[in-house]
A and B are shown apart, each in its own frame.
Chain A
Amino acid sequence: MSADSKLYADVLSTFFAEAKDMLQQMEDALLSLEDDPDDKETINALFRAIHTIKGSAGLFELNDVVQFTHKVESVLDRLRNGALPFEAKLSDVLLKSADHIFLMLEYLESKSTDEAKLALLGIESKALVEQLAEYLEHDTPIKAKEKNEPTQNLKPKVGTWHISLRFSQDAFRNGLDPISTLHYLLNLGEITTIFAIDDRLPDLELLDPESCFLGFEIRLFTAAPQHDIEAAFEFVQDDCSLRLFPPSGPEVDFVSLINELPEEPRLGDILVECGAVSRRIVEEAMQEHNNSPQLANAPRLTIGEILVAKNTVTPEIIDAALSKQSKMRETRTTDNSSRFVRVPADKLDALINLVGEMVICSASAGLLAQNAQNSSMLEATQQMSRLVEEIRNDALSLRMVYIGETFGRFKRVVRDVASELGKKVELEIIGAETELDKSVVEKIADPLMHLVRNSLDHGIELPDVRSSIGKIPTAKISLSAHHDSGHVVIRVIDDGCGIDGEKLVAKARERGLISLNQQFTEQEKLNLIFLPGFSTAEVVTNLSGRGVGMDVVKKNIEALRGQVVLKSTVGVGTTIEIQLPLTLAIIDGFLVKVGMYTYVIPLQAVVECVDADNSKLLKHNRWSGNFDLRGDVLPFLELQEIFAIANDIPERRSIVVVKNNDSLIGLLVDQLQGEYQTVIKPLGKLFKNLRGVCGSTVLGSGEVALILDVPALVRVATENEHEQHNVAVVDRQVLVHANQ
């Protein structure tokens, strides 16, 4: 039983995940409809999304969700029928509804018992339902239809319905259980007679037990309206053919049923036996069937066509048929979705972790082979390390997701915030297909949100202000992403008012964040915005301006080993550039030795290596200086001094030239040891504040090497000596600790 409840919990959590996906699709569809309100396909997609949520919520008996989604579905149905025009206000209500469904799902998922929250949700539900109702009550005839009670069915008929049901072979595999459908019917009324149709069922030996060959002829005595009976089949309609015969329908209708299922010779008898038709009708049908063989050969009419022909058509049935057809079309168009497999993220993480360990092992095997000078073994290990590298790349690519998904979310934010502030903003997305590690994408979403909101709130001017200064009234925010030397560069660009460096300085002084006589370059002035506790908003809005924005953004990005650079021109706009590593797990490293310690420099940062000619090194102070690289003057850092390694300076040293932002800088090291695949092991809590290194790794020999964080190193070196001292001291502790 506990296995069952676990299964149920698993399925439920899948439902939540999928429903949220659906809501996202719904939101996307709504936003794209705002640009192109007549796009039928999108309207259909919208309808399908909500329909699916309603359907699956029904399976889990999440009645509140079902009731609410039903209202939304009804409105969307009218939209789909063309009875309702798509307009901004409706879009608003629908977007809010999607949000509300999301909140309801969140609440249910959290298994919270917070009464107050529940009550709040209830109130919100009511308010939205009232708003939705406006779209249902424009004209009464359609309203009746909306409630899925066709005029002729307004008075429910008490009587015996005949239901003819054949499941498709894939029904079981699609997770359907005919039994549940029948149980549902039992709730509606009394099943007076039921015949299990097993004509299609092969002999036991030949039976594929996972395919469904079942069918039922059911007599249901009920007062329920047609709509309710059909609801029982709502979730299975893709996987069964269903024929409903109302209590007082003409018997002739059954003729088509008999004709349509020629492979079931007993059907006529069954129908007679259960009282659906008289013997005479069946005989007539058989005769008709025999007399007109061309009818049997004629292309089969769809159920809808037959019903239309028989003049017993009800809007519901046509609707059901249409939605079934559109669903079939949908499965065809989204065929590639079946090529994807949902995998829990932690399984992927475990895999990547293992691959990481394998990289270490293979490096150590390679080292052993090298030391043993066994050439055939060396060859084998080289082969292996090549394969391991491929596995590593493939494993990492599994975690790669498009950043477009994250960008897409901002469409909604920009739309809502802009309209709230009375601004006109167009969002441009560039490079949505840029791939980035999933964990990075997840962590970058929040900082990006802050940046976009800041742009909207502080950057973009009101339309008339823009017109008055000669800008086009509609502002533009662009989100762009692209790959650049092993990094991903994300830019948030707006064409708003820009950031005034002087204002920042004044504000920072006022807040006592800087001293009165400190002097700044333009870039430094802009960087003041990243100081903790800094806010320039004159009016604190609920969007931004609480002063927690930029320093948190910066901290979050740096935690991802990324950087953020702000460029701004007053009156023209602001560009915020974020640089992020592609992945957090493994990097290609370049090994260098300083004294007896090994360090890893991320390979993507390495530009070239040159011999250090001691005579050409010009030292400014203990740890830095500059040197001549083919006529250019480059600064260099002496790692030995920065990390305070007591060591005799060897005769020959090397300089590794690395890229730091847009400039180059040299690192003076004792020895170059070549490339190395580096599995990053994060530093322990104790070393969280350590600067200049961003992690450690275990070498093939078992030795621990620190991974250098070049930009941080540069920052450290340009700051005061006291802090460097800290770095160096802690560095030793790391080594001691890691070697233990």
Chain B
Amino acid sequence: MGAVRLPDDLTIYQVTEIKAILLKALREYERRNTAIELDFSNVKECDGAGVQLLLALSNSAAKAGATVALHSVPKPLAKLLDDLQLSSRFLVNS
């Protein structure tokens, strides 16, 4: 199973839908031990709510013993995670 592709916006307006996507990925991992891989190639925006959501995923995944890999992370988002010194919580591939 490939990476889960995220929609355009990781913002407060979409977080509820994205939470469902992420939760599904987490469940998928728990059931079949597949890696949690997220494809960010479509993501254009990410705000605090989006970051918080990723953080919650990372925490919950860590509890379950998984790491979260972020693929095709756009530059601005990678910089944001760096600025927040959060990059270490994920495997970030740009």
Q: Mark B48-59, 1 if CB is under 8 A from A, else 0.
A: 110111011101
* Alpha-carbon distance A177/B52, docked complex (angstroms): 11
Partner pick for A203 among B45, B56, B83, CB 8 A cutoff: B56
- In the assembly, what is the distance between CA of A207 and CA of B12, in Å? 13
Within 8 Å of chain A (Cβ to Cβ): is B72?
Answer: no
A-contact bits for B9-40, CB 8 A (1 contact / 0 none): 00010011011001100100000000000000
Task: State whether A198 touches B55 (Cβ < 8 A).
Answer: yes
- The distance in angstroms between the C-alpha atoms of A205 and B63, with both chains bound, is 13
Kindly name the residue among A171, A186, A196 whose own CB sees the greatest number of chain B CB atoms within 10 A: A196
Whether A177 contacts B48 by the Cβ 8 Å rule is yes
Among A70-78, A135-143, A208-216, the one that faces the other chain is: A208-216
Contact B56 A207 (CB under 8 A): yes
Give every chain A residue within 8 A of B85 (Cβ-Cβ): 193-196
Which single residue of chain B is at the shortest CB-CB distance from A213?
A: B52
Q: Is A156 an interface residue (CB 8 A)?
A: no
Please classify how large the interface on chain A is, using the bins under 10, 10 to 19, 20 to 34, 35 or more.
20 to 34
Complex contacts, A198 vs chain B, CB 8 Å: 52, 55-56, 59
- Which one of B15, B16, B48 has the greatest number of beta carbons of chain A within 10 Å? B48
Q: Looking at chain B, what size class is its interface with the partner chain?
A: 20 to 34
Contact B84 A194 (CB under 8 A): yes
Separation of A178 and B83 alpha carbons in the complex (Å):
13
Q: Can you list, as one digit per residue, whether each of A171-214 has a CB less than 8 Å from chain B (1) or not (0)?
A: 11100111100100010000101111010011111010110111
Closest Cβ neighbor of A181 among chain B residues? B48
B19 CB contact (under 8 Å) in A178, A196, A209, A213: A209
A47 to B59, CA, bound (A): 44
- Give the residue of A186, A196, A205, A212 whose beta carbon is less than 8 angstroms from that of B49: A212
User: How many angstroms from the CA of A209 to the CA of B57 in the assembled complex?
Assistant: 11
Prevailing SS type, chain A contact patch: loop
- Counting chain A CB atoms within 10 Å of each CB, the highest count among B49, B51, B59 belongs to B49
Does B86 have its Cβ within 8 Å of any Cβ on chain A? yes
Contacts of A201 in B (CB 8 A): 52, 55-56, 59
Q: How far is the CB of B44 from chain A (nearest CB, A)?
A: 8
Which of the residues A4, A182, A210 comes within 8 Å of B16, measured between beta carbons? A210
* Contact A179:B16 (CB < 8 A) given known A209-B49, A212-B52: no
**Residue in contact with B52 in the complex, picked from A176, A186, A209, CB distance below 8 Å:** A209
A201 to B51, CA, bound (A): 12
Task: Say yes or no: A186 contacts B83, CB within 8 Å.
Answer: yes
The distance from the CB of A267 to the nearest CB of chain B, in whole angstroms, is 16
In the bound complex, residues from chain A placing their C-beta under 8 Å from that of B12 are 172-173, 177, 210
Using an 8 Å CB-CB cutoff, how does the interface string of A452-469 with B read, 1 for contact, 0 for none?
A: 000000000000000000
Residues of A contacting B60 in the complex (Cβ-Cβ under 8 angstroms): 203-205
* Residues of B near any A CB (own CB < 8 A): 12, 15-16, 18-19, 22-23, 26, 45, 47-49, 51-53, 55-57, 59-60, 63, 80, 83-86
Identify 18 residue pairs between A and B in the complex whose beta-carbon atoms are under 8 Å apart, listed by A's number: A172-B49, A173-B12, A176-B48, A177-B12, A177-B49, A178-B48, A182-B83, A191-B83, A198-B55, A201-B56, A203-B56, A204-B22, A204-B59, A207-B56, A209-B56, A210-B16, A213-B52, A214-B52
Q: Which residues of A contact B (CB under 8 A)?
A: 4, 171-173, 176-179, 182, 186, 191, 193-196, 198, 201-205, 207, 209-210, 212-214
10 more CB-based (< 8 A) A-B contacts, given A177-B47, A179-B48: A172-B49, A179-B47, A179-B84, A182-B84, A194-B84, A195-B85, A198-B56, A204-B22, A210-B12, A210-B15
Sort A-B residue pairs by CB-CB distance and give the 5 closest, nearest first. Answer: A209-B15, A204-B60, A178-B48, A209-B19, A204-B56
